[in-house]
Amino acid sequence: MRTAHTVTQIRAAEAALMATLPEGTLMERAATGLAVACADYLGGTYGAGILIIAGSGDNGGDALYAGARLARRGARVDAILLDPARAHAGGLAALRDAGGQVVPEKSRADAVARADLVLDGIVGIGGKPGLRPAAAEVVALVERHGVPVVAVDVPSGIDVDTGETPEPHVRATVTVTFGTHKIGLLVDPGATAAGAVHLVDIGLSPYLPEPALSALQAEDVAERLPAPERTSQKYSRGVLGVMAGSTQYTGAAVLAVGGALAGPAGMVRYVGPEQPANFVRARWPEVVVGEGRVQAWVVGSGLGTEPHRAEDVSRVLGSGLPVLVDADGLRHVLGRLEGQVLLTPHEGELARMLDVEREEVATHRLRSAREAARRWNATVLLKGATTLVVTPEGEARVNTTGTPWVGTAGSGDVLSGICGSLLAAGLSPLDAGSVGSYLHGMAGVLASRGGPIAAEDIARTVPEAYRRIRAVAT
Ligand SMILES: NC(=O)C1=CN([C@@H]2O[C@H](COP(=O)(O)OP(=O)(O)OC[C@H]3O[C@@H](n4cnc5c(N)ncnc54)[C@H](OP(=O)(O)O)[C@@H]3O)[C@@H](O)[C@H]2O)[C@@H](O)CC1
Ligand SMILES: Nc1ncnc2c1ncn2[C@@H]1O[C@H](COP(=O)(O)OP(=O)(O)O)[C@@H](O)[C@H]1O
Ligand SMILES: [K+]
């Protein structure tokens, strides 16, 4: 499991760990890991031009100590001190001893122009979101010259505990983070600003409490993936009812069922108007059309806006069975819900539910998902480049698989089918949502291999993703 903690949790763990170690040990560990990551990124240090941007806190200290190590290994290291009088004294002395240079204010533009790599040591977990003008000016120069940035601990300027990114902030190619992940490195838009995240072990794990956010890894998904036993049969594996599509949106029915058939449930029943039902039957002969006993429901993809569909949604929600509500079905989710319910909105749908602008959800993804989960007493899966799954009790997971090619029409319909099948096979809404989005994203990557895909391709490739993940466990 990849885990992320809040700044308060990290500060407490660091204090407990630091009390057991000689002073300076943690910063030394952090700086060593940072220097190694920079050398890896550059493919060697000899002759490389590295520019440190150092703020006045320990984040700047990490960058300066790492710079000293890189200078000793043959790099030409320059440092811009944003607040020279308050620069980290030990880090600065180490850098100077190793032959590193402080850049005079008038030469900053030249220093940026000749850098192969910038180390962002402006602020770490002690920073307030946004950047002060002096820092913002240097960051703008770096962007103008297109120099790759390695962020120290976090890209400076992001809101570390939420992933929100009030401008300005650093956009990194790589973020080298210490001890544990920060929430803002995994949740968008912060995750996009962080680039590839590399975690350096500084010995913090034994002191960390339950994470505030986690991301399933292949072995976690493998543990949760249902698989039939020797004596299983279709009914014992779980039956999923899919109520999706309408005369207007026939494809949603076909795609949601396609996703459902790619999951672990033993059988899929389809319930809906004649027109999509005929298409479903023609495309998927294994589907039984019509009502019958099921273990979970998917309702909503392509349901349309006709008022009578509200009854379908409330009937399913009143069944006492686990239910996934997607897309148009979300229009009919009114009061507080009971039982095992997974709501799967994208940003626009969640904005409509919360009666706010879409932009509001896009900039406050985690907060919006948490608020909806509490308000409707249901698990909320907020789709996007980094999908979030949040329970009403506040447990939160983020999905890290996928490719932007997955953002294709009908992709969400397929996801609803996959997650529904996992619900029918007995997973909780939290597991069904997070395992389902992992499978969906991974299937998208495997199907795409860097090129365009259609939603159908994702459904078709889920079994391959399933096999590969199960192979991790054996
Ligand atoms: N603790 C540990 O054991 C370990 C910690 N480690 C490292 O320490 C980092 C935390 O260091 P930290 O606590 O010194 O705070 P830090 O992130 O450098 O920022 C505070 C400074 O930034 C300034 N500032 C604030 N906002 C700003 C803005 N928007 N724009 C510009 N400036 C802004 C603020 O200025 P002030 O408000 O005081 O004027 C203050 O001077 C952590 O991320 C990790 O890298 C590692 O070595 C591992 C062991
Ligand atoms: N940039 C992206 N990177 C990875 N996955 C994405 C991206 N954009 C969208 N997705 C995924 O694609 C799916 C789109 O679903 P949705 O918006 O409901 O589309 P539709 O309504 O057309 O089915 C979601 O699973 C979402 O997480
Ligand atoms: K930083």
CA 67–ligand 1 middle distance (angstroms):
17
Give nearest CA residue, ligand 2 atom 8: 407
Does the Cβ of 389 fall within 6 Å of ligand 2? no
Topology annotation, domain 2-211:
Rossmann fold (3.40.50)
Query: Does residue 108 contact residue 141 with C-beta atoms inside 8 Å?
Result: yes
Q: What do you get for the CA distance between the two ends of the chain, in Å?
A: 18
The per-residue DSSP string of 134-191 comes to HHHHHHHHHHHHT--EEEESS-TTS-TTT---PSS----SEEEEESSEEHHHHSTTHH
Determine the 3-state secondary structure of 278 from DSSP.
Answer: helix
In this prediction, residue 473 carries a pLDDT of 76
Q: Is 377 annotated as a binding residue?
A: no
Axis-axis angle for helices 347-354, 365-376 (nearest 10)? 50
| 301 labelled ligand-binding | no
Most ligand 1 atoms within 8 A of CB, residue of 21, 92, 123 to mutate:
123
Q: Where are the domains of the chain?
A: 2-211, 218-473
For 237-272, the pLDDT digits (tens) are 999 999 999 999 999 999 999 999 999 999 999 999
- Write out pLDDT tens, residues 78-126: 999 999 999 999 999 999 999 999 999 999 999 999 999 999 999 999 9
Identify the residue whose C-alpha is closest to ligand 2 atom 19.
412
Residue 6 CA to ligand 3 center (angstroms) comes to 16
State residue 307's pLDDT score: 86
Among 386, 379, 341, smallest CA distance to 362 is for 386
Q: Counting beta carbons within 10 angstroms of the beta carbon of residue 451, is it exposed (0 to 12), middle (13 to 18) or buried (19 or more)?
A: exposed
pLDDT per residue over 139-182, tens digit each? Answer: 999 999 999 999 999 999 999 999 999 989 999 999 999 999 99
Distance of alpha carbon 443 from alpha carbon 437, whole angstroms: 10
Give distance in angstroms: CA of 130 to centre of ligand 3.
12
Of 164, 88, 90, 89, residue with least CA distance to 130: 164
Low-confidence ranges of the chain (pLDDT < 50): none
For the domain made up of 218-473, the CATH class stated in words is alpha beta
**Closest-lying ligand to the alpha carbon of 66?**
1
